[in-house]
Structure 1
Amino acid sequence: MKLRYRVEVFEDPEEPGVWLARMPSVAGVFSDGDRREEALSNVQEALEGMLEAMRKWGEPIPPSDFEDFVELEIPEPHAA
């Protein structure tokens, strides 16, 4: 079974240089990292641990909260 969850990743407003990541649809799944990619990797590990525990405890696994996404890169405006 393949599940997809929305991840929110953002720089900590109180601690510059630290990135936070959380999965709003799976309570208790959050992590951090020194880089955005590290925070994403860490939150994925946290999700895997949470889902394993939920299966062990007989808790229902939250359904996927999105199917597809579109990603694009917008060039930075040139300084005047």
Structure 2
Amino acid sequence: MKTNLFFKVKVSILICFLSFTYCPNVFSQSQKMAFLDWHGEVGTQNFFYKNVTKTDSYGNTYIVGATINSYNNYDILLVKYNRSGTIQ
């Protein structure tokens, strides 16, 4: 239980950090939107949420999200795309 709470706190801090770091760039520049459709699926999940999509001044796009599976375990997704859309 303590570990699960600690993980939630770490995820929340990461999301806040990314939000505050790239917030000025979001409203002052046009963004290239990068979306990657799921290519496959292993197991099941009850929930997926894309928390943050931000673009920095170099054109890199960051996507942060989380999943909750049927056992109430959390996983985090953090993906960085460069300007040409390649995963870094």
TM-score by length of 2: 0.29
Higher-Rg member (1/2): 1
TM-score by length of 1: 0.32
